[in-house]
Amino acid sequence: MASLWSETARYDSWLRVELAALRARVERGEVPAEAVEDAIERARFTLDEIHEVEAEVHHDVIAFLTVVARYVGDSSRFIHLGLTSSDVVDTAFALQIKQAVELLLEDLSAIRIVLRRRAIEFRRTPCVGRTHGIHAEPTVFGLKFALWENEFARHETRVREMLPRILVGKLSGAVGNFGHTDPELEELVMANLGLGVAPISTQVVSRDLHAEFLNVLAVIAGTIEKIAVEVRHLQRTEVSEAFEPFGKKQKGSSAMPHKRNPILCERLTGMARMMRGYALVGMENVALWHERDISHSSTERVVFPDACILMDYMLHLVLKVLDGMEVDEAQLKRTIHQTQGALASEKVLHALIEKGWLREQAYATVQRSARAAITERKPMADLLKADPEVTKVLDPQQIDSLVTLEPDYNTADFLLRRLGIVE
């Protein structure tokens, strides 16, 4: 990913656009065929030469064209014919984004494969579901992975849906009026480059497209952070239900040998904050003066390489976490029983209502028993059996059947089928 955003790669992309425009003019009979042959054979550059010229002219595109012209010779007069700098820069920018997206889609696909595998692996693993950080009801650990897989499926769809919009170039000239080119030339060049055509542009392609790209990356980073925060909570000492990978020779603290810190997930959490910052820069770049200023240019040179490299790194890192996550199933079981059956409170509530109790009466009775189970460390089933009002409508066997802590595996299987994770 880093190589796609190197300085050399940027100039290579510019040269690719210039040669595509030259070929199109030859194809239309506007330029001698030998001109493109000369250019293809001779066109080259070195970074040192470009830097040397740019130090004098303070214009990177002019420096690039000056150096290329030295190698091409007389035929160089046809290079950049009728174009403005942003015709080349923005079109080449789309080529770089296209290559970057191809790598990111590979990452997303790999993550979804791992998430589907782990959802199936833990489809029969009960655990506590939490709301507000507090024990709520039993659920299935595999559904965590299934939910994340579904989010990444949407991310993949988002990326693919935005590509026709954002992977566009332009050759509309200095203010977008095709003063020295024409729309047919633009369409021909973009087709040869494998890009779409910006339907209308000023001197630049509208930056809402680039903002969309950065915002989609930020949304993906949000899911990665969601996973990281979950693992960080599950790895806390008082929870100890799941753990990010930890190497045999890895050390957690310079002072405390017992430490096993969730450093990968903490790193991912921090990087998600950076990605949201890049998205904000993209939004700030949408509003430019008139047909164009260059306030966007300096920031894009930083945030686009950084955002793509960071996204690639985050996807690889979260893949490592998901693939190597250790799940302590025995601890999951201990956690479920920690509240002495109080997790079954809603089932008992519904049973009493079905027996004719008013909801307020049933709620108060079940809440009282659940609180006592948690605070006094007594089985909730025993507390309910000791309540004469409850036993008037529920016999001991019914209470025992209600105060069970097994999740509904049939529903879990249904959800996995709905998501296409299992058949």
Q: Which residues have a catalytic role annotated? A: 132, 253
Residue 327, SS3 per DSSP: strand
**Closest-CA residue to 359 (of 348, 373, 343, 374):** 348
Listed in sequence order, the residues at least 6 apart from 219 whose beta carbon sits closer than 8 Å to its beta carbon are 155, 158
Beta-ladder partners of 135: 130
Q: Give exposure, 80-98, as e/b (b: 16+ Cβ within 10 Å).
A: bebbbbbbbbbbbbbbbbb
> In this structure, what DSSP letter does residue 411 have?
H
Contact 217, 279 (CB under 8 A): yes
Report how far apart, in Å, the C-alpha atoms of 224 and of each of 32, 140, 228 are: 53, 21, 6
Decide: helix, strand or coil at residue 116: helix
Neighbouring C-alpha atoms within 13 Å toward the C-beta of 173: 12
First to last CA, the chain: 36
How far apart CA 239 and CA 267 sit, in angstroms, is 21
Answer for the pair 169, 193: CB distance below 8 angstroms, yes or no: yes
C-alpha distance from residue 401 to each of 127, 345, 361, 381 (Å): 19, 12, 21, 9
Distance of CA 315 to the CA centre of its chain: 7
C-alpha 141/C-alpha 118 separation (Å) is 9
* Total residue length of the chain: 423
